[in-house]
Structure 1
Amino acid sequence: MTDERTVLAVGAHPDDEVLGPGATLAKHAAVGDDVHLLVVTEGATQQYDDRSIVERKRKETRACADRLGARSVRFGDLPDMMLDDVPHVEVNQVIEDAVDDLSPDVVYTHAATDVNLDHTAVHESTLVATRPGSGVERVLAYEVPSSTDWAPGAGYFDPTTYVDVTDRIDTKIEAFAAYETETREFPHPRSERAIRAWATARGGAAGSEAAEAFELLVERRLTP
């Protein structure tokens, strides 16, 4: 009998999977868990005129996955920045297919309060795909710099779970560096300095040097 788990990280766009739970995914991989990534959109059409950027981003995602220790990457290829116009069932299906094929124990997805509407659509569809009967035991929502932190108002990210990533924050930085199309200069949130600063702040809340924060959405236990 093994304690190894199957982990699926669902992101709307290339880079969400590392900006959010990247260091935690690296910790999963380091202890022998099978880590898989799903990118729901192609992440380019509404930002770039050149369709070749789609394949470039996929190469970056694969390089990032290798650095995190992920076993596989899937691409949903739905339209970028347009998931609010895509029928909900189509977004559901992309995530359900991954859940059916991989049978994950743990799923990471976007927070419901992100300013990016693609993120909130993925959040809602993940809850559908991981409903009772899916076999998924645990679902957690992660935060993404330049989306979760830019959402004002009463609905805000409210972490309930922290993971000490002191030993994997460098891995996260190295993995994110694969995304040459997405890195920005400080003080932009998608910069190395800002990512480290955010991990330090979350670590301060958790009592560690560096941490990633999550909202626990689902916990299905057979025992108390």
Structure 2
Amino acid sequence: MKNILVVAAHPDDEILGLGGTIKKHVDDGDLVDCIILGEGMTSRGKNRKEVEQSSVDKLHNDTMKSAKIIGFRNVYFSKFPDNRFDSIDLLDIVKDIERHIEKIKPDIIYTHHYGDLNIDHKKTFDAVITACRPARDYCVKEIYCFETPSSTEWNLKYGTDTFKPNIFVDVKDTLKDKLDAMACYETELEEYPHPRSLEALKIIASRWGTVVGRKYVEAFELIRKVD
């Protein structure tokens, strides 16, 4: 049994990137917790106050419904301002993550890719790597980046910041759970061909499957592993 922590920037990222993989961990007996750093929703108005708190509360309720399907043990909401992580001192995000690491003591962390288009995703990666400094008696032995549809593929840069998966997880048996969990997110789900549609998520899993000869796959980039 392993302790696993998912560090996501927004509600639904924890499903979009790795819902099938997490369900597989849970089915194998691992304990999985999730931190969602951002409050979600509030970047959709001209300012944060334009978005009603009831809308944010509904989004978080959708998160908890989704979490039950996947099997997260706990979901923690840090409630940093949505799509405004660049307005916060990185140290504040780091300390929030460190607090959870000290409590959960995860063996494995999954988080966003450093090359994502979304600024919150980039800052999340930076904060995770900082919080997981391999100093003294550190617990985190493996760190993986996941792909976030509607962010990772929309950064059209070339070179070292592109998503370069080298770990592929067969999610044939858990893809339905991922799609059911994503369907809970009524305000985040889009119509095909948007990447956050159920049809697109199935196509993305199928596409990665063709890379390694499997039907449905979620792809990850290994950042660090210590045996």
TM-score (norm 2): 0.94
Residue aligning to 2:74: 72
Residue aligning to 1:177: 183
Point out where structure 1 has 5 or more consecutive residues left out of the alignment: none
1:204: Cα distance to partner? 0.7
Give every structure 1 segment of 4 or more consecutive aligned residues whose post-TM-superposition deviation is greater than 6 Å.
none
CA contact (8 A) 1:84 1:118 kept: yes
Deviations 1:148-198 (A, max 9, x none): 010011121010110011111001000101100100000000001000000
Report the secondary structure of 1:46's partner residue. helix
Task: Say whether 1:138 aligns with 2:150.
Answer: no
Report the secondary structure of 2:41's partner residue. coil
Task: Say whether 1:15 aligns with 2:12.
Answer: yes
Report the secondary structure of 2:72's partner residue. coil
CA–CA distance in structure 2, aligned partners of residues 151 and 159 of structure 1? 15
1:97: Cα distance to partner? 1.2
Residue aligning to 2:48: none
CA–CA distance in structure 1, aligned partners of residues 185 and 77 of structure 2? 16
Task: Say whether 1:103 aligns with 2:105.
Answer: yes
Counterparts of 1:143-162 in structure 2 under 5 Å?
Answer: 143-154=147-158, 155-162=161-168
Deviations 1:64-121 (A, max 9, x none): 1110011100011111110011001011112111111100011000000000000000
Deviations 1:120-158 (A, max 9, x none): 000000001112143101000000000001001112101
1:89 to 88, 91, 101: 91
Report the secondary structure of 2:43's partner residue. coil
Task: Say whether 1:197 aligns with 2:199.
Answer: no
CA–CA distance in structure 2, aligned partners of residues 14 and 80 of structure 1? 10
CA contact (8 A) 1:110 1:119 kept: yes
CA–CA distance in structure 1, aligned partners of residues 43 and 189 of structure 2? 18
Moved more, 195-204 or 148-157: 148-157
1:43: Cα distance to partner? 0.8
CA contact (8 A) 1:44 1:51 kept: no
Identity of aligned residues (%): 37
Q: Which amino acid aligns with 1:135?
A: C
CA contact (8 A) 1:68 1:171 kept: yes
2:22 to 15, 21, 25: 25
CA–CA distance in structure 2, aligned partners of residues 130 and 28 of structure 1? 21
Q: Which amino acid aligns with 2:68?
A: D
TM-score (norm 1): 0.95
Report the count of equivalent residues. 218
CA–CA distance in structure 2, aligned partners of residues 131 and 61 of structure 1? 29
